[in-house]
Structure 1
Amino acid sequence: MYPRPVVIGVAGGSGSGKTTVTKAICERFGEQSIVMIEQDAYYKDQSDKTFEERLKTNYDHPLAFDTDLLISHIEQLLQYKPIDKPVYDYKIHTRSKEVIRVEPRHVIIVEGILVLEDERLRNLMDIKLFVDTDADIRLIRRLLRDTKERGRTMDSVINQYVSVVRPMHNQFIEPTKRYADIIIPEGGQNRVAIDLMVTKIQTILEQKSFL
């Protein structure tokens, strides 16, 4: 049996560059060593609600996530057992009937806006990162992503940002910065921070005789 896999948490506001940082780390190691678990995949199933009710869901609140399932899946991966990761459909605002089979790897990266919010989740992590990017940059990135990839209008994205995203960021996401071992300013543009992270992960893997 291999030693316990390394778990890395990558948190930060919507549009901060979390995914870019995570992908940059993954590219250095390849898919054979790292598995990426997105917190977004673990939004609660809302198939019991009408479409109108689903539209009212606050997706930036901790209660929007099925954190129990996320923790259970990470624990399974830590035991080198595969999982069936849920798929969330943003167009119908509920979980898809599809799942993605995820095989265990030596490094597990858990990425999402609130992955440092739950103490149980934090306790599973060996390294905790917070990607810190200015609010105006995050808004622009969110605007581009949601209009291009998620079929939203510009007005709906801005209204959601002002009424929900920004207040939730200040209330729930920003405070989790204090739990981070490392704060990465400017997200995926910060090549020095990413290089340091890659070196740190390599060191841990070598200590565990994975490399």
Structure 2
Amino acid sequence: MLTIGIAGGTGSGKTTVAKAILEQLGPDHVTLISQDAYYHDHPELPFSRREQLNYDHPDSFDNDLLRNHLRDLQNGRSVEMPIYDFKKHGRSNHTIHVAVRPVVILEGIHVLVDAELRKLLDIKVFVDTDPDVRVLRRIRRDIEDRGRTIESVYEQYLTTVKPMHDAFIEPSKRFADLIIPEGGENEIAIALLTTRVSQFLTEFSRTRGLES
């Protein structure tokens, strides 16, 4: 199995890059996992308190569960991925069944921050996009998809998003094997990465053929 980690700041285009690879190679070969699904659940806190949590700090993720799920997939065992509801700041009662595929893509802002998580990655990618572009994408996503107000997005960006990016996400770029400028708009970089994954799938299929 080939495990690819795609990191980068909020709105950098991580998901676009991951989905581009998935679309080109097909869901029969590639499984996509988002680190966003693994936010810690805090049912013990009232909604007003959950709203105030720092969701941009590495500790906001349940990386123990995420690492366990990656290991399970790498060892041929399917997993039940959590579903995180950003409107209520909590996990859903439902999960998503993730089947075993030859390629696993994990995308998220702190994918390259956790040292133990990095050990599980065969290819480490950092999507590097201009901060102005990222913040505009963040504003649009949070308002349209997550029901936030422009005031709350602005406050969150200044108090947690930007400080956490500067402290943790940007420094994690040094761990990347490949840096993709401009995210999903960089068709050449995506094509190069997809070609590498295609080569792995060809080798994987040949090996399976020899074993059968």
Please show how residues 1-211 of structure 1 align to structure 2 within 5 Å.
5-209=1-205
Structure 2: distance between partners of 1:189 and 1:60: 25
Shift of 1:210: 5.8
Structure 2: distance between partners of 1:23 and 1:77: 19
Which segments of 5 or more consecutive residues in structure 2 lack a partner in the other structure? 208-212
For these two proteins, the number of residue pairs brought into alignment is 207
Question: What do residues 38-76 of structure 1 show as CA deviations (whole Å, max 9, x unaligned)?
Answer: 000000011111112101111110110000000000001
Give the 3-state SS of the residue equivalent to 1:208 in structure 2.
helix
Question: What do residues 183-205 of structure 1 show as CA deviations (whole Å, max 9, x unaligned)?
Answer: 00000000000000011111122
Structure 2: distance between partners of 1:45 and 1:136: 31
The ranges of structure 1 where at least 4 consecutive aligned residues each deviate by more than 4 angstroms after the TM superposition are: none
Shift of 1:106: 0.4
The residue type paired with residue 95 of structure 2 is: V
The residue type paired with residue 170 of structure 2 is: E
Shift of 1:208: 2.7
Shift of 1:80: 1.4
Structure 1 match to 2:210: none
The residue type paired with residue 124 of structure 1 is: L
Structure 1: distance between partners of 2:136 and 2:31: 28
Structure 2: distance between partners of 1:157 and 1:40: 17
**C-alpha RMSD of the superposition:** 1.0
Question: What do residues 97-129 of structure 1 show as CA deviations (whole Å, max 9, x unaligned)?
Answer: 111111110000000000001111111111000
Contact 1:42–1:67 (CA under 8 A) maintained in structure 2: yes
CA separation of 1:8 and 1:204: change in aligned 2, threshold 3 A: same
Moved more, 31-40 or 197-206: 197-206
Q: TM-score w.r.t. structure 2 length?
A: 0.96
Give the 3-state SS of the residue equivalent to 2:15 in structure 1.
helix
Which segments of 5 or more consecutive residues in structure 1 lack a partner in the other structure? none
Shift of 1:206: 2.2
Identity of aligned residues (%): 51
